[in-house]
Chains A and B, each alone.
Chain A
Amino acid sequence: MDSLLPAVAAADAAPLAPGQLRELYSLMAAVRYLDTAAVAWQRQGIIPGYAPELGQEAAQVGSAYALDTARDFAFPTYREMGVARTMGVDMVAYMSTHKATWHGGMYDPLASRLAPIQAVVAGSVLHAVGWAHGQTLEGNDGVALAYFGDGASSQGDVHEAMNFAAVMKAPVVFFIQNNGWAISVPTERQVAGGSVAARAAGYGIPGIQVDGNDVIAVHEATRNAFAHCRAGNGPVVVEAMTYRRGPHSTADDPGRYRSLDDERIDAGEDPLERLRKRLLAEGAADEAFFTAANQAARAEEEAIRTGIEALGPRPGNEMFDFVFQETTPALENQATRWREESEHV
């Protein structure tokens, strides 16, 4: 497997500054608090469901931290809360999808550079290729960052996307969070050969496997991948080996397919704890920083909770308003009928 990106390995290899490392920690903490809280909100009846990303904070924050929202674009699945937070998306607008307010979330995908939340497994990977090819056609240097998991890698669309991107030299970073589980099926029964990154060789493009719980390693790998793409060298596959510490979603019961002992052994070290130790060891942060970061994360979570609780249902006419840019007479009739009949009762 390619671990080097020859064109850029040396060029963009400056280590992260202490301030950037602290920022990474703050982001991961914010994500951890919100993620943990969201599971609680579901239990409390504030939101009907949620897909936690506990344990994947390093993979999400580390990769999204490499993205330049002035020119790049990210294509999430339904489990990229950490990506959204890192990209600075309004988190009430983002979490509204889990409140069942609006499928794609209430944020503006164009302004935030984050495509709408995608419920179809591997549904958006091809979109990233199309968007990226658009950059080539326009002569822009934007890069598409396509998120998907080990389970999604079984979908034919992922093959089509990698093949298209490789043929067209489209600037796409295929970022796989291999979290060990596709709901109840472990990676070894999902990914033949054990690695998605290994497939890259078949497309003649670089494929990198990286410790997905090491935020610095993830970030550096993604940053190099971006540089490779931006230089016109075509797509890259980055596979972050991580662990889904929580259930697939709040409707899932991992006790039916894995034990707590398994989880303890397989999950490895908590990515936040790992970064904390490193910051302390390098003298980049002290306990006061961590206390402050955790407090800020808690405050942020409270604010988002308030926002989510305040979020009422969208007006029913929006069902009709966003189907087309140019509506149709039949749809207008249905909207009128809906209004009359809903007001009648």
Chain B
Amino acid sequence: MAEISFPLPDLGEGLIEATVLEWLVSPGDQVERNQPLVELETSKSALELPSPQAGKVIRIHGAPGETINVGEPLVVFEVPDNTAGIVGTVPKDDAPKRRVRLSAVLDED
């Protein structure tokens, strides 16, 4: 097993910090990807942060009311060695999104 730290991500539009409202998970909890981890409040809105991955929560950073800067550790997971610490991100297979539509008269000669 390996540990992987998830830092507070950029929550958009240049926000540099967020305040912890309430933790929805505790150390020891097994979480699924996209399961809500924590309620955060920024200067613009309150939001619920979904887990970036599945794994066991080992540590959480920031008690309710405390402010965390973007990039600082927020939660530490224990994950199977498989994907722990690999470089880059694991891309998601999203449903394809398109803007272009094809139009053609196919002359089947």
A–B contact (CB under 8 angstroms): no
Q: Which residues of B contact A (CB under 8 A)?
A: none
